[in-house]
Structure 1
Amino acid sequence: MADQNHDIALMAHLMRRAGFGAQYAELEERAAKGYDATVEELLNPEVNPHGMDLDVAERCFIEWSHQTRGVPEYFAFRMINSRCQLEEKMVLFWHGILCTADSKTQSYPTSYDEIEMFRELGMGSFRDLLVGISRDPAMIFFLDNCLSHKGAINENYGRELLELFSMGVGMDGEFNYTEDDVKECARAFTGWTIANNIPGQPYGRYHAQFVYNPEDHDEGTKTFLGETGNFNGEDVIDIIAKQPATARFISRHLYSYFISDEAQVPSWMETPPKDPETIKMLEDEYFRSGYNIKAMLRVLFHSDAFKNARFQRVKSPVETVMGTMRLVGDWTEPKPGFEFIFDEMKHMGQELFNPPSVEGWHTGQEWIDGGTLVHRINFTADFVGDVNQPGVREIINRLADVGPLLSPEQMVDTTCLLMGHYELADETRQMMASSLEKGGTIHTDTEEFGNRVSELLQMIVATKEYIYA
């Protein structure tokens, strides 16, 4: 029994990090399949197991039409329902690094193409992903590369490609590139632009298209990161991909996203990794695999650092909301009102398709302040307190199966287990047990029992422990 609980606890940890959580029945199913097999299933997603195709969604939700709005809601719906949880988690990962914002682009069809590009390339070669984002119409418009011309460069994309998308400003106290490298990078990407916009009326916006204009490309010799040649954008990306700084940059991002909160990106030049051994292991795999993200993830999920890092990351607002939906079993099919779910993430500090800047969202403890914490607790408590939710009913029924009577401690411990093996501090656990004891003997065969379970669930999600994944 102890081994079985350990396997399920490890699976719960994997699904919180490599996905958006799972109900206990799914954890049992995956634990029976085995950790290694589950990792491989997550790394190799199926073709169409995401719950609902966009064209079907648009027939169920007219307001979700990609010609007008609704793509963020569809993105969120897939996070809840997709069997390919890691694929959706990686889309969110890249959305927070290779950032564009609808506040500027104002074209959901183009943003949707970007998200689909992340799904296609997000676990493949990092070199190919950099080419993909450099050809992405949303990015070209967002960082003004369509305004960069031969003889009159715009440095925005060249700068952010180096600073925020691939290498970072510096490593181990040394700068990774110079201002001249930024200018040469921008020259290499001249001619990478987008086609003229199709008018938005009367039928709504259409997908923007990438265009290469050879007449606007700077064919002159360029010197970039110590190499000289008549470089174009792909040549520059080839040079970037082989830099040690790029391996470090991607490794630290993966570590912070999947293992434990790191320092914020702007401080990485002067702040060494908190776990140099694991970072080095990921860097080595980056080069060994030919810059392959899937290979790096496989090493990460099998590392002791990952397996021992339970509850060391503050959940993002998206993880909080999506995890709650998956726990209670809501929004597994179309119904009115999903915009409320999307808005709650925004109120907690994370609006999909609108990161606060090209730097993305600051993570870790910076997710939490007095206002956002209240939103987290209220939102989560409302859903887990609803005994009509399928996932809440399942927890109630499983607790009842334990026996006709439960001790307060037994009820607290089993409920935490059924929520995904959450771990409470001894003081918190005893406080909850004392609260249950005041309510009298816990009979599992009474009508009152369901309400007592929902009240306990509300207490658990209000703890500081529940903030962490």
Structure 2
Amino acid sequence: MDRRQFLSLSAKRQPAVKATTTGSRTDSGISAYTGTFDTAQAVHLLKRTMFGATPEDIAWVKGLGLDQAVEALLTTVTPVTTQPVNIYGEDEHGILPGESWVNSPPPSSDDEDGKRWNSYKAWWIGVMINQGRSIQEKMTLFWHNHFVTEMDMTHDSRYIYKYNTTLRANAVGNFKTLTKAITLDPAMLRYLNGYLNSKAGADENYARELHELFTVGKGPDSHYTEEDVRATARVLTGFRINANTITTYFESTEHDIENKEFSDFYSNKKITGKTGQDGATELDDLLTIIFAQPECAKFIVRKLYRWFVYYLIDDAVEANVITPLADIFRNNNYELLPVLRALFKSEHFFDPLNMSALIKSPIDHNVGLVREFGVTFPTAYMDAYDAWDRIRSHAASMLQDIGEPPQVAGWQPYYQEPQYHEMWINTDTLPKRNQFTDAIVSEGGYGGVAIDVMAFAQRLSNPSDPVQLITDSVAVLYRIDVSDTFKAWLKNTILLSGQNPDSDYYWTDAWNAWAAYPTDTALRTVVESRLRTLYKYMMNLSEYQLS
């Protein structure tokens, strides 16, 4: 299907526009939002900062109000108390089934490591599904897409797990601190050859990406040079990995002790070469030089904007949103919280043109779905991991496999002009989304789990009233409002099964009869079959693909 046509859902919706930096889509900025904060705004905030929004989440946010809800979402840290475990049986190092392998010796073979990879991916999906009311998981995935590592190039799942904990620990902390931590992270050192970097042959892989993809970017105002890349590579010589302890150490004899000079883009700064273990501190000098460049703040703010708000950054957005947020970022020494706080409380974030304007990523689609519907997962760890991995695998078939971004730049829909997020939808991936929703709402479910439509309806305000049931379902599941005519059609055609449109009592009687005798299979079937049809139909529509 045509992706631009997909976004034009009604005459009221602005059609998708080419990702250009000219013109003005909206003039709103980062002034504090003072408008209505009701269900639509609460759901918008939740679905952009978390994976999905449950009825209970929505009530929680509305009860707190905008300011307190943003503060809670940004500052709440839900400890992850689990680690990926052996789900594959025999382990060459004696890790028993159900025990964690993250602190074991290095894997003995690619086959053993591959089994651990599958365990890690399933575990991470489980962490996302069981997230607390916090931005933590969305930010962890954001940084995974920014500071990319690929599992099949790192060749040690223990490194990847530790990399995940590094992202998670710094998810809403200080960007400069995170950049240093990732620079020294064993997974990144392995992925971009940093552990091979020596004075006899400075490897430029990480040095180039540090500038181009991780800090100042490659926009029109970013003018770092090849000399800057070479100087950076020389600064980073000497860092090595202890494979047994999964830690980084500095080998001073492999460090280039000569001076390193940078271009006028970095104000012609010079790093004086250091000897011995002091050579490791040249990394701090390097980051000081890079982070003094204003383009660094702008580059990261643009990426945050495309992740949380909208893919198009035109002249007005650059002036009214990106530049002032970048100023906040720099003035707060690259602390993320002040930037995110200003963004999520801004009039621009709640601008109607930015609500229901993003296509869900596959992870957002799958994880958000099971969270919103309150899908129950098995308690036995083998069954739970199997179900989580099936959720992950189907997202991978729709072009987003956690742990395996397709390249060092991340997933294309977050950076590829002019389509950006429209790339998530094509003639292959859209049917797969529908196949997933059709299966998981069916009686047989998907991957061992299924939506309990009765339990979900009971969580709404008044499920015995078909009008209110439809209204509440639309509010939770959709990000774009639908007409009263369409809501009436859903009610009359599905819930009332074509009865007289004024015969709402048909549904009310059926619901109340089941509620009075919940163990009666026949009464349950009357209600459950219609709810399954309703939610299957709603999830097959374009509206459900929007965040």
TM-score bracket, normalised by the shorter chain, equals 0.7 to 0.9
1:295 corresponds to: 338
1:212 corresponds to: 250
2:402 corresponds to: 352
Q: Is 1:381–1:457's contact at 8 Å kept on the other side of the alignment?
A: no
Spell out, residue by residue over 1:109-162, the C-alpha distance to the aligned partner (whole angstroms, 9 max, x if none): 111111111111121111111100100000011001112211311110000000
d(CA) in 2 for partners of 1:393, 1:35: 31
2:462 corresponds to: 401
- Determine helix, strand or coil for the equivalent of 1:307: coil
d(CA) in 2 for partners of 1:318, 1:16: 12
Is residue 445 from structure 1 mapped to residue 509 from structure 2 by the alignment? yes
Provide structure 1 residue ranges, at least 5 long, that are not aligned to the other structure: 199-206, 264-270
Residue from 339, 353, 356 that aligns with 1:311: 356
- Determine helix, strand or coil for the equivalent of 1:443: helix
d(CA) in 2 for partners of 1:61, 1:401: 45
Residue from 228, 234, 253 that aligns with 2:270: 228
d(CA) in 2 for partners of 1:296, 1:6: 21
Q: Is 1:145–1:154's contact at 8 Å kept on the other side of the alignment?
A: yes
1:185 corresponds to: 232
1:415 corresponds to: 473
Distance 1:253 1:457, change over 3 A: same
Bigger Rg over Cα: 2
Distance 1:362 1:445, change over 3 A: farther
The amino acid across from 2:229 in the alignment is V
d(CA) in 1 for partners of 2:170, 2:316: 27
Q: CA deviation at 1:430?
A: 6.8
Q: Is 2:463–2:469's contact at 8 Å kept on the other side of the alignment?
A: no
Deviates more, 1:8-17 or 1:347-356: 8-17
Deviates more, 1:33-42 or 1:140-149: 33-42
* CA RMSD of superposed structures (Å): 2.9
Q: Is 1:192–1:212's contact at 8 Å kept on the other side of the alignment?
A: yes
- Determine helix, strand or coil for the equivalent of 2:172: coil
Q: Is 2:42–2:61's contact at 8 Å kept on the other side of the alignment?
A: yes
Is residue 62 from structure 1 mapped to residue 98 from structure 2 by the alignment? yes
- Determine helix, strand or coil for the equivalent of 1:194: strand
Q: Is 1:9–1:420's contact at 8 Å kept on the other side of the alignment?
A: no
Normalised TM-score (structure 2): 0.75
d(CA) in 2 for partners of 1:399, 1:415: 8
Q: CA deviation at 1:62?
A: 3.1
Q: CA deviation at 1:252?
A: 0.4
Listed as ranges, the matches of 1:162-201 within 5 Å are 162-170=211-219, 173-195=220-242, 197-198=243-244
Residue from 114, 118, 137 that aligns with 1:88: 137
Listed as ranges, the matches of 1:270-285 within 5 Å are 274-285=317-328
Q: Is 1:137–1:210's contact at 8 Å kept on the other side of the alignment?
A: yes
Deviates more, 1:24-33 or 1:93-102: 24-33
Is residue 134 from structure 1 mapped to residue 183 from structure 2 by the alignment? yes
1:29 corresponds to: 60
- Determine helix, strand or coil for the equivalent of 1:287: helix
Identity of aligned residues (%): 28
d(CA) in 2 for partners of 1:222, 1:376: 51
Distance 1:456 1:326, change over 3 A: same
Distance 1:415 1:352, change over 3 A: same
Listed as ranges, the matches of 1:218-257 within 5 Å are 218-224=256-262, 225=266, 226-230=268-272, 232-257=282-307
Normalised TM-score (structure 1): 0.86
Is residue 40 from structure 1 mapped to residue 104 from structure 2 by the alignment? no
Spell out, residue by residue over 1:194-250, the C-alpha distance to the aligned partner (whole angstroms, 9 max, x if none): 12x35xxxxxxxx62211111111111111222112262221111111211111111
Q: Is 2:41–2:350's contact at 8 Å kept on the other side of the alignment?
A: yes
d(CA) in 1 for partners of 2:336, 2:508: 48
The amino acid across from 2:326 in the alignment is E
- Determine helix, strand or coil for the equivalent of 1:85: coil
Q: Is 1:311–1:468's contact at 8 Å kept on the other side of the alignment?
A: yes
